[in-house]
Amino acid sequence: MKFLHTSITVRHMDESLRFYTEILGLEFERRRTIPENHAEIAFVRDRETGARVELTHWEGKEAFEAGEQLDHLAFEVDDLDRFLLHVRTKGVPVAKEPYRLAGGSSRIAFILDPNEVWIELIERARPAA
CATH of the domain at 2: 3.10.180.10
Q: For every residue of 36-64, which 3-state class applies, written as one string? A: HHCEEEEEEECCCCCCEEEEEEECCCCCC
Q: Identify which of 75, 78, 85 has the alpha carbon closest to the alpha carbon of residue 118.
A: 75
- Same domain, residue pair 105 and 91: yes
The catalytic residue among 29, 40, 65, 120 is: 120
Boundaries of domain holding 97: 77-129
pLDDT per residue as tens, the chain (129 positions):
899 999 999 989 999 999 999 988 999 999 999 999 899 999 999 999 999 999 999 998 878 777 778 889 899 999 999 999 999 999 999 999 999 988 888 999 999 887 788 899 999 887 766
Evaluate whether 23 touches 50 at the Cβ level (below 8 Å): no
Which DSSP category does 16 fall into? Answer: H
Total tally of structural domains belonging to the chain: 2
Annotated catalytic residue 120: yes
Give the largest CA-CA distance in the chain: 48
